[in-house]
Amino acid sequence: MNVERYLRLIAGAVVLATLALGYWVSPYWFLFTAFVGLNLFQSAFTNWCPMMTILRKLGARDAQSPAPPGIAHSTQGGR
């Protein structure tokens, strides 16, 4: 997977987890849900998110990374 897919996976999991925690444990967890939403909103404009930086440092690759040497990309539809 690439950084963008990991980011969506983590954000979705955190939103679902904090919604459950807010419902069953304490409504203060909804503040964390709002933080995730605001962070996703600002990253749409700035193209920067703290989790993306962490994922890159952990070795996740960007979606537009070139293929490893020796592997060619075909744009001819499988020919």
Domain boundaries, the chain: 3-57
pLDDT, residue 24, reads 98
Q: Give, for all 79 residues of the chain, the pLDDT tens digit.
A: 999 999 999 999 999 999 999 999 999 999 999 999 999 999 999 989 999 999 999 999 998 755 555 665 555 555 5
What integer pLDDT is reported at residue 67 of this predicted model? 58
- Rounded to an integer, what distance in angstroms lies between the CA atom of residue 3 and that of residue 60? 6
The per-residue pLDDT for 64 is 74
Residue 67, C-beta contacts closer than 8 angstroms, at least 6 positions apart: 73
pLDDT at 68: 59
The whole-angstrom separation of Cα 65 and Cα 34 is 31
The reply to whether the predicted model has a pTM over 0.85 is no
Tokens of 39: 């962070």
